Chain A
Amino acid sequence: MTAAATELRAQQDQGRKTAQNREKLAQGRTYISALVVLIWCLAPAYWMVVTAFREVGFTYDTSILPTHVTLDNFQTAFDTSFGNHFGQALLNSVFIGGVVTVVSLLIGVFAAYALARLNFRFKYLVLGFILGASMFPGVALITPLFQLFTNIGWMGTYQALIIPNISFVLPLTVYTMTSFFREMPWELEESARVDGCTQGQAFRKVIMPLAAPAIFTTAILAFISSWNEFLIASQLSSDRTQPVTVAIASFAGAQPNQIPYTAIMAAGTIVTIPLVILVLVFQRKIVAGLTAGAVK
């Protein structure tokens, strides 16, 4: 082996080493950044859970680790003797969210199909209308709805919460579903029609099964959006119909004026956990659904 060759190898090794080092450094930086992101996203949620498990007498304890651990708060959260209806509110939220999701999907899927697949006059008018609808601020609706529902005796009914919610969720479902529909392999529909299916049959038998995952994702998004709604519900619901968001915001304690933070955090934890599980399980699909409108 010549000296020159040895030197060359040494240089190559050196080069590889610095490249490796640089790689390692970059990896290290990535991990540190990822850790920062993790802490930023999870720390407040962690504090909610820790407080939820803390004895009410030690609400303002600031030790980072769980102290005075108890399950009482979860019981308190469901306790109705202070005028809270958390259990009822949970059912209300599920019911309202369910109806809103089903109805807006039913309506939305048809509309999205038409927008994605059909050609007709006034298409832009319709799109513009739906786009416009999603811009309306909730407060612009609330005054007249308050007045209207008062006049027709709908205050404190489920429909008073469901119907406005549909209007908020519908544009979302239409847009997400339209984006999904544009991505579908429509050649299949064509071939089905060549095989003698009508457009309706082709839609039902070929497209719907293919679209099921997309519909499911949209359903989750619609449900979460309705589950989180506060403005309309805070003004138009009664204790019988109020959803969890309102129930938690107005949680009352054993004494007048008392704000039972620990029970509120317990309730918050209960409300959040199903969503977090849902979100974690369907993470990829949700990300796809959220981004569908934006990137295409």
Chain B
Amino acid sequence: MNAAVGAAVESRSSPLATLGRLVRRNVWTLGLLVILALLLVATKIIQPSYGPAGIQGLAISVLPLALAAAAQTSAVLARGIDLSIGSMMALTSVVSARLMDDQTEGFAILVVAGVLILGLVIGAVNGALVVFTRVPDIVVTLAMLFVWAGAALLVLNTPGGGSAKWLSDLTRGPLFTDWLPQAAVLLVAVVAVIWIPIRRSRLGLSIYAVGSDPLAAFRSGVSVTRTKIFSYMLAGLFSAIGGLALTATTGIGTPVPGPYTLMSVAAVVLGGVSLAGGRGGIFGPVIAVIILSLLRTDMTFLNVDTNLATVAQGLILVGVVMVGSLIQMRRER
């Protein structure tokens, strides 16, 4: 994603220099893409019949996870962290499933719009609490994890509700060719449409500035308060889209949060976003999610004990991050 922005901004300088700069800026993301490509080749070797159906399944299962990763990236870039993402997804999912149940397709458009606004609002609540109470992000969002999860159970105490057909159809099936799942197109489109304008705006710059050094940002005239609240609103918005994706792919709303918060942090770390804020992009975590999901699938093909697979996933995560930090340290020296 940084690549796209970079290309647009610097299209006037010499193409070769631009390319060099792009590669240098996005080493981590490009590295992840290489890993993903290798993994796809490995998957094809392990399971020769792996084809369009497998890619489709992968895209659908990645969708909610990737949106959670995007949400977490929004918070972490501004030196925050949001542990309530899974709960926000559960809340927005049950609200949408309950409202769309037995309603017309047209009404569902209103529901989707309403749920997106709900995401912005609950994100704003998280952000406002962090900023105005001055309680650390991790504590506030940990508390809000329970608040939003409880709210989800109040809306729907057991899995249920429904999804509009057009919403479900958006995530299913291929587009143009069997090899291009609609879910993947949807994911890229949604993330790009939201993130690119923000990244290129003053606000995007403020997020990185606050994330790098809040004091310096403040002294340069950036409103830290506003920026942080906005980053949490963005996290809420992505969570709401993730919640809608859950409703769309399963056809129901589930009030008990899934493993999305933990997965989002893992993806952010693996995706090259510094937990200390201010460094990284949104596409790294998204690719990281695909890698983690594909690893799971490969473990299934190899019939590795699921518990072992979980251990392996953690070890890979630690390993990649350690190698990454080593590269970073050497470069800085």
A and B found bound together: no
